[in-house]
A and B are shown apart, each in its own frame.
Chain A
Amino acid sequence: MQLPKIPIGDAIEVLVYWIEQYFGWLLDAISGGLGFLIGGFQSILIAIPAPILIVLVSVLVWFVTRRDIKLAALTALGLLLIWDLQLWNLAMLTLALVLVSTIVALAISIPLGIAAAGSDTINAALRPILDFMQTMPSFVYLIPAVIFFGIGNVPGTIATVVFAIPPALRLTNLGIRQVPIELIEVADAFGSTPRQKLLKVQLPVALPTIMAGVNQCIMLALSMVVIASMIGARGLGYQVLVGIQRVDIGGGFEAGLAIVIIAIILDRITQNLMP
C-alpha cells in the first residue's frame, strides 16, 4: 500500500507561476538593478590598469593593517601572480560579484539584525528562517534563483546574497544584545532617544562583533560565487568549473589559487577594519 502523496511539488509550481505572473515587474527591476551594479563594478575594476590597482590595494592593506609591510608585500605578490596567470579580468569579475553580493547582503542583514536585537518577537520570527537558510545545502538556493532570474551573473548574485545574509544578521543581533546592560543604562539615564541610544552606544560598542559578521559575509560570498558558476555566473569560479568538467587539473588549480589569494586579502582587510 502506498500513502497518497502530498502535492508539495505541484503547490510550489503554482506558487512560482503566481509570483512570475504578479511580481514579474519586481523580478525584472531586481535583475536590472543587480545587472547594472555588477557591470558597473566590473567595468571600473577592469578600467584601472592592473599595475595601478595592485599598488592601490597593497597600499590599502598597508594602511588598514597599521603599516604591516610584510602583509602589504604579500598582497602585491599575490595580485601580481594573478595578473601573470592571465586571470586578471576573471578575478575582477569575481571581485565585482563578491562586492555587489556583500553590499546587498549587508544592506539587508544589518538593518534586520538591528531590528531583531530590538524586538524579541522579530528575533523569534527570524530565527527559524535563518536556521533554514543556513542548514539548507547551498546548491538548493540555485534552483529558485534560476527559476526567477534565468542563468548568468544576476541569479548567481541572488543565490550568493541569500547564502551570505545569515551570519551578518546573527552577529549584528548578537553584538547589540551583548552590549553591557550598564552602558544601555548610561544611555537611558542621560536621556537618550532610542535613535541616539542605537547610534551613539549600541552600534559603536557592538561594532567589533558586527565587523566579524561583515568579514564572514564576504568570505561566504566568495565561496558561494564559485558554486554559483553552476548557474552561469562567470569569473574565476566558472574557470574552476570548466577545469573540473574538462579534467584540466592545471587550469582549475590556477583559478582556485587566485580565489584563495583574493579571499586572504579581503579577509585581512576586513579583520583589520575592526577597532
Chain B
Amino acid sequence: MKLEGSVIFEEIPRESTRSLQPIISVRDLTKVFGQDPEKALELHRTGRSKQEIYEETGSTLALDDVSFDVMPGETFVLMGLSGSGKSTLLRCINRLIEPTAGEILLDGEDIVGMGQEELRTTRRSKLGMIFQSFALLPHKTVLDNVAFGLEIQGISAEERHTKAEEVLQMVGLGGYGGSMPDELSGGMKQRVGLARALTSDPDVLLMDEAFSALDPLIRRDMQDELLDLQQRLGKTIIFVTHDLDEALKLGDRIALMKDGAIVQVGTPEEILTNPENAYVEKFVADVDLTRVLTASEVMRRPEPVAQCTAGPRVALHLMEEHDILGIFVITRQRILQGRVTLDAAAEAVKKGKQLADILITDVPVVAPDASLGDIISLIVESPYPVAVVDDTGRLRGVISRGAILAALARKGEDVNATA
C-alpha cells in the first residue's frame, strides 16, 4: 500500500499534495533602512530606483514589495547573494527587523500589526529560529540552551529539562546535556541550535544560513538530517542560503532574490530548467548536476529480469536474447534477490545446478532519491550495474555507467540551451 502511494507521490508535483491554505503569506513587504523611511516609501511609489532613493534620502530600500506564500510542511528556500535581502526578509517574519510596510500573515494573523505581548506569544509558540553562528548562550549548559525557549515561557525546570533531553536525543546529542557550548564542535553546536528551536515545538522554523558555517562533510550530514527530521515532524521551514546546491537539495520551492526583490519562485526543477531571466540563468549555470539528478531520474526499467523460481536455463536464455552479461533476480513481489552472470548461468546449466546456487547477493543498491554523485562513486567500485531499490526492497530500476553519462549529457544540454 505504502509503496503504491509513494510512487504516485513521486510523480505528482509536491505542493499539490499539500493543503491549499498557506501557513505564511507575505504581502507587499517593504523595508527601508534609514532616517526617513516615509519619504523613501513615497519616492518608491513614484517608481524611483533604489539608487535614486538612496541618493535623495540616504535611505536604503532593503526589501522591495516582496510577496510569497509558504504552504504547511513545505521547505521554502530564500536564496540570493549577500546583500540581496534574504536575511532581512527572514528577520521581518519574526520581526527581529521591523518591516516598513506590507503584511505577513501567519495562520491568517498579521504579524506586522501585532502588539508586543501578542508578538511575544507568537514568537514563543509558533516561530523557532536557527542562526548561522549557532548563537548558543555561552554561560548555559547544552541542556539549558536547548530548554531556553521553555524557560522564557516560564515552564518549571524539571519539565523543561525532560523535554530538552528528549529533543537532544532526537538530534543525536543524548548525553551531552551537561557540556558547555564551547566544548562542542561546529556540527554539534548547530545540532544544539536545531534542538533549541524544536523544543518549543513551533510550527515554523526560520533558518538563517544555518549550515553555512560548517565544513562541507558535516554540512551534508546536517542537510540529510534536516530532511529526515522534516519528514518525521512535518515542520514548515523557511531556509535562507546563498548556496544553490543546498537550496536545490533542501527546497520544495526556491525563491531567488536580487536587490531586495524576488526574481523567481519555483521548484528546484523549474528554477534549473526554466530560468526566468538572465540573472537566474547565471546563478544556475554552474550547478553541479550530479547533486541535482537523483537515481529515479537516471535509472531505466529493470528489463529483463529473472524470476527466482525459474531455472538457470531461463536466465541464460534471457541474457543471450538481450545480449547482456548479467541479470537481476527477483521474487514474484519484485523483491530483489541478487544477480547471476552469463558465465555462471552457462556453467550451472552444464552441471545441473539451481539458480540459488549461483546467485550473487552482494550487489550494489541505492534508494530512488540517492543523488547521482553517490551513485557514481558506487558504480566506479562495482563491475555491475547498480540496482535501484525502494525501502520495501522492491527493484525499481537499473543504472548502468552508460545511463549516467547519457543523463548528464542530456541535462547539461538542457541547461546550456536555455542559458
Kindly report which residue of chain A lies nearest to residue B140, judged by CB atoms. Answer: A204
The CA-CA distance from A8 to B148 in the complex, in Å, is: 57
The 8 A CB mask of B133-151 against A (1 = contact, 0 = none) is 1010111100000001101
Please tell me if A43 contacts chain B, counting CB pairs below 8 Å.
no
Interface size class of A (residues with CB under 8 A): 10 to 19
A182-B131, A182-B135, A204-B139 in contact; A188/B152 too (CB < 8 A)? no
State whether A186 touches B137 (Cβ < 8 A).
Answer: yes
A136-154 interface with B by 8 A CB criterion:
none
Main secondary structure of the interface of A (DSSP, over half): helix
Kindly report which residue of chain B lies nearest to residue A183, judged by CB atoms. Answer: B135
Interface size class of B (residues with CB under 8 A): 20 to 34
A185-B96, A192-B152 in contact; A205/B135 too (CB < 8 A)? no
Please tell me if A191 contacts chain B, counting CB pairs below 8 Å.
yes
The CA-CA distance from A186 to B148 in the complex, in Å, is: 9
Determine the chain B residues whose CB is within 8 A of the CB of A188 once the complex forms: 94, 96, 123
Kindly report which residue of chain B lies nearest to residue A185, judged by CB atoms. Answer: B96
Please tell me if A212 contacts chain B, counting CB pairs below 8 Å.
no
Which of the residues B94, B139, B196 comes within 8 Å of A205, measured between beta carbons?
B139
The 8 A CB mask of A194-232 against B (1 = contact, 0 = none) is 001000110011010000000000000000000000000
Determine the chain A residues whose CB is within 8 A of the CB of B119 once the complex forms: 191
State whether A189 touches B152 (Cβ < 8 A).
Answer: no
13 contacts between A and B (CB under 8 A): A182-B131, A185-B96, A186-B131, A189-B129, A190-B123, A191-B122, A192-B120, A196-B152, A200-B137, A200-B151, A200-B152, A204-B137, A204-B139
Please tell me if B200 contacts chain A, counting CB pairs below 8 Å.
yes
State whether B137 touches A189 (Cβ < 8 A).
Answer: no
The CA-CA distance from A208 to B131 in the complex, in Å, is: 24
Please tell me if A121 contacts chain B, counting CB pairs below 8 Å.
no
Determine the chain B residues whose CB is within 8 A of the CB of A201 once the complex forms: 137
A189-B129, A192-B152 in contact; A183/B96 too (CB < 8 A)? no
Please tell me if A180 contacts chain B, counting CB pairs below 8 Å.
yes
Determine the chain A residues whose CB is within 8 A of the CB of B361 once the complex forms: none
Instruction: List 18 additional contacts besides A183-B135, A191-B125; criterion CB under 8 Å.
Output: A182-B135, A186-B148, A187-B152, A188-B94, A188-B123, A189-B94, A189-B96, A189-B127, A189-B128, A189-B206, A190-B149, A190-B200, A191-B152, A191-B153, A192-B120, A200-B152, A204-B137, A205-B137
